Amino acid sequence: MPKRLVCCAMFGFVLLFGVIFTPAAQATEQYARDTGQACIFCHQESTGGQLKTVGFAYIRNGYRYPIASSVLEKSERLQQPLHKTLRFVIGYLHLLAAVIFFGAIFYIHIFVRPARLTGGIPKPERLLGLSCMATLTATGIYLTWARMDRWEQFFDNTFGLMLFIKILLFALMVAIGLTAVTLVHRKMKQMPPPVAGEDEITRANLAGFDGAEGRPAYFVFENDVYDVSDSARWKGGRHFGKHTAGADLTEALKGAPHGTEVFEKVRRVGPLRTEAAGSDKPPVVRRVFVVLAYTNLVLIFLILACIGVWRWDFPLRLMPEKRETAIVGQSCIDCHREKTPGIFMDWNNGVHARVDVHCDKCHRAIDEQAVLTAHLEHSSRPISVVVSPKHCQGCHPRQAEQYARSKHANTHEIMWKIDHWLKDGMNNATERTTGCLACHGTVVEVENGKPLPGTWPNVGVGRINPDGSKGSCTSCHTRHRFSIEEARKPEACDQCHLGPDHPQIEIYNESKHGTIYHAEGDRWTWDPTSRRWEAGKHFRAPTCATCHMSAVAGKFDVSHDVTERLSWETQAPRTVRPEDFKPFPAATRWQDERRKMEAVCLQCHSITWTQDHFRNLDKVIHHYNENYYDPIEKVMNQLYDQGLVSRERYFDEPIEWQYYELWHHEGRRARMGTAMMAPDYAWWHGFYELKHRFVHVRQMAAELKEGKGKHMYTPFPGRME
């Protein structure tokens, strides 16, 4: 029994190794290029290895991307330590049982031959087969439950279809196997073995001399019959586990390590008799057994074919596309290819087209508040013109969650807490819509299935969407290509971060980082296959995304919360720590975020360089707060308290403009220029201009106290709208 078990396992392992243990086509570097997802998207490491939750969900979703949110939620539960351990143990048992079961069947067909089992299946093989079938059934039920959530999943993708066919084939194989080891085996045991006298041995009854269960062990060589019943090397009718008695071994001797000299040690029975006509036909029950045995062998090949299609894919589509979303999506594509070719080409050249994310998946109406009138006369399917982060989070849940907690997503609220002067005193709705709200975001309103002008179109980072979500992913990943390469370049940020009050792009362009980028950025690798954008390997100098979003190997992962890694709020009138920023306090400690930003710098700079840079920044912050902002704020408060300046409206008196631009323009440029290492902005556009503004405000305050220089701007253009 142990030798047979080892042989079964060996043959099964060799057979299944190529199918089970080779990399699947869906997880190759070519697949990553085709789908836009790298190994690191599903695996813990870029070289593969242990699956992350999204990788396990990807398998359960039928090797289809994007991943359904319900599948992702269940996958998160199944990735808990208890379930992972249970799945590993059950999966191991399933694979082990398959190797032994398949190996045993192949062993019987290759070396034993079903036709020779005249007395039925030996007891060890019967017990082995029954135990393997029971194990495969029990473990297969659990593994199927872990991968499939609903009946439809068996028929809407190739993986599900192959799994369904495999289950049917296995069920048929089990039914045949149970029939063979019970009913057919019992009938064969009841039949007397076809043993004849030594002078009556023919090819028809030769199989009865197999040495099993006490029967004689004979074999034939060149039509002579030899008796090896008493040979120690033919115990049980088997010779070294390779040859069996009851067979013609004439051809087998050609590959043996010995010649005919060994026949001198065994008894020659006599010549093999010629069968009488019609006597070579075995009984019906034995013929049925042979048919069942070879049917199971065919079923095994079909099961392996299913696994092969699942693992390596198939060049032809195995099922017609029936999903409503896919059919609707194709109709959208066909129409837009003609009517808006620019939109179609952007989508077609982007990653979404390669992973079957079409118009309907992004523009589907997911909230009653966001349902808009169908824009196609021949379709009643409601769509949403406003694509919000709620649409994106189905495939990008982590990115959507990070973005939702960032200042970008909440900037519409933050804006009026810092710059309420703009809304209350300086501009009107028309000016705000085309100016401030183009970046900060509008509150999109829908009426009669259409977005209202003035609130739409808009892709501001803090846009308030009809479904209640905040922000717009297309602010950085412009539609409809949604390019990672574009988002990594500083030009993605310069549409909003420029001008006198937040000139980050001008500061970057002046810095050494910007100089290097403009000199050689066209030769950098912006979208590596691994998706891990690494300093020194793919780029030489950082961009906005490098410092505020990108991962640092071995330190921390990529983040879509661009307000992380900040240790000062340089946009505030008086610089404070992020957790002390009242309009939107951070939930983390500034010391932790400082260490993250230092880790970014340390990819290219020494510890001394990095630490000294941040020491200089801290000194500049304190210098600005104590020597510029605090004294002027004190002067303004005195003027308001004394009634020399009115609190009723903002920007209706000259000194209020000077006070506002002191911190909002020059103050920000001095601080941001220092943080991003642009000396011209730190000094000439920053502290130099601050000094002008500082002395001018103090002079105007002195004149007001002397009863001079008081002036109100009336009428004020645009104020009444």
Any idea what the CATH number is for the domain that residue 248 is in?
Answer: 3.10.120.10
Total residue length of the chain = 721
Rounded Cα distance between 208 and 194, Å, is 5
CA–CA gap between residue 254 and residue 234 (Å, rounded): 19
Same domain as 388, residue 275: no
How far is 206 from 200, CA to CA, in rounded Å? 10
With beta carbons less than 8 A apart as the criterion, state whether 598 and 614 touch: yes
Which residues on neighbouring strands pair with residue 51, listed in sequence order?
43
- Bin 598: left if φ > 0, else alpha if -120 < ψ < 50, else beta: alpha
**Structural domain span for residue 219:** 198-282
Strands 224-227, 267-271: pairing is antiparallel
Q: Are residues 38 and 130 in the same domain?
A: yes
Token pair in block for residue 718: 């645009």
Is 41 inside a domain boundary?
yes
The Cβ of residue 519 has, within 10 Å, a number of other Cβ atoms equal to: 11
User: Which of 446, 475, 504 is the endpoint of a domain?
Assistant: 475
In a domain, 717, yes or no: no
Pairing of strands 243-244, 446-447: unpaired
Q: Give the β-pairing of 218-221 and 224-227.
A: antiparallel
Tell me how many degrees the CA angle 54-151-89 measures, rounded to the nearest 5. Answer: 50
Structural domain count, the chain: 4
252 inside domain: yes
- Please report whether residue 142 resides in a domain: yes
d(Cα 483, Cα 23) in Å, to the nearest integer? 29
| pTM of the model as a whole | 0.63
Helix axis angle, 81-107 relative to 284-312, nearest 10°?
Answer: 140
Say if residue 47 is in the same domain as residue 177: yes
- Would residue 388 count as lying in a domain? yes
CA 180 to chain centre: 46
How far apart are the C-alpha atoms of 121 and 114, rounded to whole Å? 9
How many Å apart are CA 243 and CA 364, to the nearest integer? 67
Cα–Cα distances in angstroms (integers) from residue 80 to residues 52, 88, 101, 496, in the given order? 11, 12, 31, 42
- Which helix or strand (DSSP H or E) is residue 271 part of? strand 267-271
686 inside domain: yes
Q: Is residue 271 located within the same domain as residue 360?
A: no
Q: Is the dihedral of CA 337, 527, 540, 522 positive or negative?
A: negative
Q: Does residue 365 share a domain with residue 272?
A: no
Distance (Å, whole) CA 532 – CA 239: 59
State which amino acid sits at residue 159: F
25 and 152: one domain? yes
What is the residue-wise DSSP string for 437-479? HHHH--B--EETTEEPBTTBS---TT-B-TTS-B--GGGTS-T
Say if residues 226 and 267 touch (Cβ distance below 8 Å): yes
Task: Specify the pLDDT at position 720.
Answer: 47
Cα–Cα distance, 498 to 702 (Å, whole number): 34
Backbone angles phi, psi at 372, to 5 degrees: -115, 160
The burial class, CB within 10 Å (0-12 / 13-18 / 19+), for 659 is buried
- Spatial neighbors of 409 by CB under 8 A, at least 6 apart, are 389, 403, 461, 462, 470, 471
Which residues are within 8 A (CB) of 101 and not within 5 positions of it... i.e. 6 or more apart? 12, 128, 129, 132, 133, 136
Same domain? For 451 and 597 the reply is no
Q: How far apart are CA 530 and CA 37, in angstroms?
A: 8
Under a CB-based contact definition with an 8 Å cutoff, are residues 462 and 441 in contact?
yes
The H or E element spanning position 400 is helix 397-404
Identify whether residues 175 and 27 lie together within a single domain.
yes
388 and 330 in a common domain: yes
Cα 222 to chain centroid, rounded: 65
Mean pLDDT by 10 residues, the chain (721 residues): 48 48 47 52 59 72 66 74 86 90 79 66 79 92 83 76 90 88 73 53 76 81 85 82 81 79 81 61 72 86 84 62 62 86 90 79 71 55 84 87 94 86 74 88 86 90 92 92 92 93 95 96 88 90 94 87 94 96 94 96 96 97 97 96 88 91 96 96 96 96 89 68 47
Can you read off the two tokens belonging to residue 150? 């609903």
Domain end call among 282, 310, 343? 282
Of 229, 260, 282, the last residue of a domain is: 282
178 shares its domain with 143: yes
In the prediction, which pLDDT does 268 show? 83
Q: Do 94 and 14 share a structural domain?
A: yes
* Residue 718 located in a structural domain: no
Task: Supply the CATH number for residue 658's domain.
Answer: 1.20.850.10
If asked whether residues 584 and 674 sit together in one domain, one would say yes
Instruction: Choose among 593, 594, 632, 600: nearest CA to 614.
Output: 594
For residue 253, being part of any structural domain is answered with yes
pLDDT at 573: 95
Q: Find out whether 91 and 143 touch, Cβ atoms under 8 Å.
A: yes
Chain centroid to CA 267:
70
